[in-house]
Amino acid sequence: MNARIRHTARNVLLASTVLWAFGTPATAEPAYPVEAVPPQGAPNVLIIMTDDVGFAASSTFGGAIPTPNLDRLAANGLVYNNFHTTAICSPTRAALLTGRNHHAVGFGTVADLARGEPGYNSVIPKSAGTIAQVLSAAGYDTAMFGKNHNVPTWQSGPMGPFDQWGNGLGFKYFYGFNGGWTDQFSPQLIENDRTIEPPASGDGTEAGYVFDRDLADHAIDWLLTQHSQNPDRPFLAYYAPGTAHAPLQAPAEWIARFKGKFDSGWDAYREAALARQKKLGFVPSDTKLAPMPKGTRPWSALSPDERKVAARYMEVYAAMLAYCDAQIGRILDTLKRTGELDNTMIVFIEGDNGASGEGGAMGGVNYATRVSAAVQGGETAHALTHLDEIGGPDSLPIAPVGWASALNTPFPYYKLVASRLGGVRNGMVVSWPARIGQRGVRSQFVDVNDVMPTVLEAAGVAAPKSLGGVVQQPFDGVSFAYSFTQPKAPTRHRTQYFEVFGHAGIYHDGWMLSEPVKVEPRLDAAMPDPASPWQLYDLNHDWSQTTDVAPFHPDKVAELKALWEAEATRNHVLPLQFSNLSSMLPGTRPEPLSEPGRHVLYPTRERLPAGVFPAINNRSWSIEAVIEVPDNGGEGMLVTQGGRFSGWGLAVLDGRPTFFYRNSDRAAALVRVAAPQPLAPGGHAVTVSFVVDGPGFGRGGVLTLSVDGKPAAEGRLARTVPFAFSPEEATIGRDAGTPIVDDYRLPFAFNGRIDKIAFDLGPVQPMTKAD
């Protein structure tokens, strides 16, 4: 008899015996409610998905970064070389969790850029139950660790609703962060539905706090607790570290391991990676190396200083990924220790999209303000000055686009470019020793939306027709469990469209139709080119998508274009949007606190994400703090958002009301406006106001600091942060994360009383043609 059934039967017998002893009528058949029991022999499931890791990054897939723990899974399982994501994080994660296409569940874009159309509203419908919700209902224990980038911005605050937080998505336990990225040394942590602070500060060394290690610690604790308490119940654990999304950060000792390893540059890396991929049998022997994207300089064209800086970024990237792999190894060791490894189905997806080209030509020390840095110029000189700091707690680095292309070898382009394999093809390993006896490479076309149907089939759990009283929409994914035992079986997932930020394409039976790509020099980025003819690739004979054969197959182009239109219509992809600028402005989403007008906030221990906090970007505004200064003088933060990499704060420093604003971490970017005199004990109203220069994106303006209605100091912001400050959530009455300036130490809590913080927001300024 199954152990879980024995346990239930034992409870029923015990209850009957006790009631009989106390004289309960024999006709009664008391019993505790019967819990859901998974199918006998159902496996544990561990899904691992890293972030912004390209096809040729890890050693498992021919890359130069050692990932021994992924290697050992590959040696004990199957390696998939034809697996696809959506080209960007939120959409990939939505498809993974639901088994449906990303637009079909409201995630045609990232949560931060959601808009009102059904395919882009960032709200997963109840008709698309997640893998965690289905397996929880089937009796599984469930937990999620790491990045949840599927929370609508207006639902990201401490009052919820929590429908798309980790617990709301069906995970009984969640530890990680909401949003696109966080700092490894000072993360914005969440446990279940509460914000928490790291247990210690990260000093950049392995002995200090590091988020990747903390994440693994919590996963290990949960696994040991689950095994102790429910040894007969299978689990679903979803482990989604933020690595290797920017900021690229790792312990200094790990960065030192890679010193000089990438001095030969990205062109040499590509050649060596492809040779290793062929030797491993991971790519066909006739695979060609796709040309570097237009506008990407060869390594030989870089100056010696530029090479030094670019090599450092790659050293940090490698250290970050290798360190993350080591933490995953600790999780695998825990499963071996508890005897669970053999019957654990591990699906390891190395990257939610291709490596990121967002760093532009030379990368940046500060990912949060990389566009501003490009405008300010001197990025290489700035990076050289801070070379040894890159990768540590005083940096938020992003690597150059040349490394992105190299890490996506042998394919063209990178993250965001959904029409090219460099954006959408990632390596995947599946290991399940108890049931998968074969080893080797699998080349069937597989998409991220196939994972949920595959796991359910492996677990013996049928996809429910209704969940929570809501009829479920069908899967778009197709189980690839057939490939476990049939290495040469024909692909069952025959058609898959792709679209992100206007980059569009469609795969069908070995062919791929792709929208052309153009380089936008002003943005230093690849953009879709809807005015040019679409391109056709025969992936059966052109594995790395190098040769456009559209002129030779006009009928195939027409066929796939019609198929694209049908899929785009069915999945709510249309209308396409080719620019995200309008989606970056306040007021785009239902975020009431960013609407023009007056908003009054009160002190709270909670951190307040940008979606539930007044947005001061691209508009005139004023902030009033009504406070009581104690007899011994006032000191501390009144209200702040962001941190040393970009942010602002209204504080009482050395007794004087002071406003800080910085649009980057550079010394020249800090503007400080302070009253000349300390505040006397008693009640005061401290106000800072900003009058924007006029229409445009990130325009400057005049700052005025007032005390009790009288102007006390004035300053000017030459430029402002146009979209978002560094992802350190706002706090009232204290500072958390990193300080705006080094004049104070965290948490810098205000020592008096704050009655209220009132924001008065003007209308959002319209964009101009220059934007």
Model pTM? Answer: 0.95
Q: How many whole angstroms separate alpha carbon 31 and alpha carbon 11? A: 7
Give the Cα separation of 23 and 387 in Å (integer). Answer: 81
Cis peptide bond upstream of 31, omega within 30: no
> Where does CATH 3.40.720.10 sit in the chain?
44-487+495-500
**Which residues does the chain have with pLDDT short of 50?**
1-24
Look at residue 563 in the predicted model and tell me its pLDDT.
Answer: 98
pLDDT in tens, 481-504: 999 999 999 999 999 999 999 999
> Is-contact 760 619, C-beta < 8 A?
no
pLDDT given for residue 523 in this prediction: 64
Q: What is the phi-psi region of residue 737: left when phi exceeds 0, alpha when psi lies from -120 to 50, beta otherwise? A: left
Q: What is the pLDDT of residue 200?
A: 87
Question: Tokens 């509460």 map to which residue?
Answer: 194
Cβ pair 397, 390 in contact under 8 A: yes
3-state secondary structure of 289: coil
Burial class (CB in 10 A: 0-12, 13-18, 19+), 747: middle
What is the per-residue pLDDT for 584? 83
> Could you give the dihedral angle defined by the CA atoms of residues 310, 314, 317 and 322, in that order, rounded to the nearest 10 degrees?
-160
CATH 2.60.120.200 residue ranges in the chain? Answer: 590-761
Predicted pLDDT at 7:
42
Strands 235-240 and 344-350: unpaired
**What's the DSSP call for residue 364?**
B
- For residue 26, the tally of other CB atoms under 10 A from its CB is 9
Task: Tell me the C-alpha to C-alpha distance, in Å, between residue 580 and each of 58, 304, 424, 626.
Answer: 32, 36, 20, 37
44-487+495-500, what's its fold? Alkaline Phosphatase, subunit A (3.40.720)
Rg (CA), the chain: 27
Burial of 592 (0-12, 13-18, 19+ CB in 10 A): exposed
pLDDT for 295:
87
Q: Does domain 503-583 match CATH 3.40.50.300?
A: no
User: Order of strands, edge to edge, in the sheet holding 511-514?
Assistant: 495-500, 503-508, 511-514, 535-538
Concatenate the DSSP letters of all residues of 457-477 into one string.
HHHT-PPPSEETTEEPPPPSS
| 44-49 and 344-350 beta bridge pairing | parallel
**Considering the domain 590-761 in this protein, what is its CATH number?**
2.60.120.200
Contact by Cβ (8 Å): 308, 384: yes
